[in-house]
Amino acid sequence: MQHGVAFAGRIEQTAWWESVLGWLLPLAFFVALYSFAMRRMAKGGGGPLSFGKSRVKIYDRTQNERITFEDVAGVDEAEDELREVVDFLMHPDKYQALGARIPKGVLLVGPPGTGKTLLAKAVAGEAGVPFFSISASEFVEMFVGVGAARMRDLFEQAKQRSPCIVFIDELDAIGKSRGGLGAMGTHDEREQTLNQLLVEMDGFDPGKGVVIMAATNRPEVLDQALVRAGRFDRQVLVDRPDLRGRREILRVHARGVDLAPVVDLEVIARRTPGMVGADLANIVNEAALAAARRGGGTVETQDFEEAIDRVQLGLKRRGRVMNEEEKRRVAFHEAGHALVALSVQHADPVHRVSIIPRSIGALGITLQLPTDERYLMTREELCDRICVMLGGRVAEELVCGGLSTGAQNDLERVTELARQMVCRFGMSEALGPQTFGQSLSARFLQTSVPLGEERNYSEQTAQRIDAELQAMLGAEQARARQILTERRAVLEAIGARLLAEETLDQDDLAAVVAGAVA
Ligand code: ADP
Ligand code: MG
Ligand code: ZN
């Protein structure tokens, strides 16, 4: 027993030393690593005017080469919206005197390569103000606590140099929604950086002439807190360019190269549907390289052919370009939506039809704008809406034969809508005025997390609901088919015109329909 006690004491002592060393050594190691890394970062900071403390890239575009709206093309709507920001940066006092609400945060949203970063730089260049830029993905790689501190520094410096622009690229890297189920209780670096950004945005006075801009190609993952009033409340869509836009972008990039007079940029624009500004810049560059390889004095059409093939091959590998057959399918799919919308009684007017993948994800798009703000919708209106959504798939089937995967999103939406009509709005004759199922959701940190539906009806009723959904969707599909079969000539005319022009607005569409009918 004595033995045992003495023995135990010895173990305790070694254990104490061991444990102290056990955490002291790694700690010392990390402190050393940290200070080493910080020193490295301080030395290697980017940008001609970067400060030792924050290593934010600052480009004073008044001194360096200036990027202006002249260098950006094909995104006219975004440009128009940003002109206001330029005006504010140039005359902040004018806005202050009027007491006008000044934009604080502007979020540029659009697919990669459409020119978001370029536009932000152009705003700074037009206004002749300094441009503080940092990519949010850089924050994520930092050591704990550094991201938030750096965000604070960024704004500190910006305030001293106002008027100026603070640009946060790839905002989604830190701005991802917090408080999802998986993220409960985690308080990681990203979140601290995001919180610091929110604090900074709330804390400063927009009258001081600092405009915060940010860019993202994944707006859907952003934390709602970021897009609330007083933060990034102004969102500017930077979309894929259409035919005309592509021609203009090519023109901008062709300024620097020696084009042969025969080269027609219009033709090249027609050959590059779906491509974004970055792809087109790439094509012009590849064409110049091809000309140089050939030893030619100017860039010829054949060089562009080679360049397009090259760039397209790369994009195809990443699955981003449509071939001719796919393009035809998309054209008739969208023509189907448009024609059904024009034919049924209650559909919203068609504002624009396009086969260029505009918003992120969808292939073509048929944009209908409601004529006025709606609070209530009747059963007939909802049925018409379903009919329009099914029109795309039906048209594909009629004209191209067979079915494709392109209508998936339409199908999801009609199924959801039909289910709501039956289960929520009691719009089914067969099932009567009753709701079925109770939606469950939980609240975590101001966001409501849907947890699915609780079924409060019998298996038999479930079968009747399914049967009713099938009947409803079947009837609407038949109606869409009837409309499109009767007006087949018009459908073909719209599809053909879409293939040629890619985008039709309301007036173009009316003209095509009138032409086909006459
Ligand atoms: P994003 O930030 O949207 O991913 P970038 O602004 O980085 O796209 O664009 C990359 C390059 O592609 C630009 O530097 C420019 O040369 C070219 N580019 C992209 N969009 C356009 C455009 N709309 N007009 C002219 N050039 C463009
Ligand atoms: Mg960018
Ligand atoms: Zn569709």
Domain-terminating residue out of 237, 257, 285: 237
Of 73, 66, 68, which Cα lies nearest the Cα of 238?
Answer: 73
**pLDDT for 55:** 54
Q: What are 256-284's pLDDT values in tens digits?
A: 899 999 999 998 998 888 889 999 999 99
Same domain, 409 and 272: no
Residues 196 and 265 in one domain: no
**pLDDT for 279:** 93
pLDDT, position 144: 64
Tell me if 10 is assigned to some domain.
no
pLDDT on residue 116: 94
CATH code of residue 176: 3.40.50.300
Q: Is residue 19 part of a domain?
A: no
Do 291 and 424 share a domain, yes or no?
Answer: no
* Residue 492 domain flag: yes
Which residue's CA is the closest to the ligand 1 atom numbered 25?
A: 72
Considering its fold, how many domains does the chain have in total?
3
What percent of the chain is predicted at pLDDT more than 70? 79
Q: What is the mean pLDDT of residues 167-184?
A: 71
- Looking at the CA of 238, name the nearest ligand: 1
* Helix axes of 324-343 and 379-399: crossing angle, nearest 10 degrees: 150
- Provide the residue range defining the domain that includes 66: 57-237
Q: Which of 344, 469, 325 is nearest to 399 (CA)?
A: 325
Quick: pLDDT tens for 162-171: 788 999 998 8
* pLDDT of 60: 54
What is the chain's mean pLDDT, rounded? 80
Q: How confident is the model at residue 181 (pLDDT cuts 50, 70, 90)?
A: very low
pLDDT at 368: 57
Q: Does the pLDDT at position 371 exceed 70? A: no
Q: What is the pLDDT of residue 274?
A: 81
Looking at the structure, tell me whether residues 112 and 140 fall in a common domain: yes
Residue 6 is assigned to a structural domain of this protein: no
Inter-residue contact 82 to 119 (CB < 8 Å) = yes
Please give the structure tokens belonging to residue 16. 């104490």
> Which position has the higher pLDDT, 282 or 409?
282
Distance from residue 479's CA to the centre of ligand 3 (Å): 16
**Same-domain status, 378 and 510:** yes
Structure tokens at 111: 């697919």
Question: What's the pLDDT tens digit per position in 210-260?
Answer: 889 999 988 878 888 888 878 888 888 888 888 899 999 999 999 989 999
**Whether residues 328 and 290 fall in one domain:** no
- Return the structure tokens found at 297: 């004095």
Asked whether residue 497 is assigned to any structural domain, the reply reads yes
Q: Which of 76, 118, 246, 320 to mutate to test the pocket of ligand 1 (most atoms within 8 A of CB)?
A: 118
Taking CA atoms only, the protein residue closest to ligand 1 atom 15 is 278
Domain of 510: which CATH number?
1.20.58.760
Do residues 342 and 408 both lie within one domain? yes
Residues 469 and 421 in one domain: yes
**Which pLDDT belongs to residue 47?**
36
User: Which CATH number fits the domain that encloses residue 279?
Assistant: 1.10.8.60
Residue 63 lies in a domain: yes
Residues 197 and 306 in one domain: no
Q: Which of 184, 203, 237 is the last residue of a domain?
A: 237
Q: Note the pLDDT of residue 518.
A: 67
Q: Dump pLDDT digits (tens) for 26-84.
A: 777 777 777 666 555 544 443 333 333 445 565 554 455 788 999 999 999 899 999 98
Q: What's the pLDDT score for residue 114?
A: 93
Residues 504, 356 share a domain: yes
Mean pLDDT score, 466-471: 92
Nearest-atom number in ligand 1 for the CA of 238 is: 3
- Residues in contact with ligand 1 (CB, 6 Å cut-off): 72-75, 112-118, 215, 249, 252, 277-278, 281
Q: 281 and 335 share a domain?
A: no
> In the listed set 313, 338, 362, which residue is the last one of a domain according to the structure?
313
- Of all atoms in ligand 1, which is nearest to the CA of residue 71? 25
3 part of a folded domain:
no
Atom of ligand 1 minimally distant from the CA of 215: 2
SS3 content of the chain, % helix, strand, coil (to 5): 55, 10, 30
Distance (Å, whole) CA 331 – CA 503: 10
Average pLDDT on 351-365 reads 63
Looking at the structure, do residues 369 and 510 belong to the same domain, yes or no? yes
Report yes or no on 50 lying in a domain. no
If you write DSSP's letter for every residue of 42-85 in order, what string do you get? HHT--STT--TTT--EEEETTTSPPP-GGG--S-HHHHHHHHHH
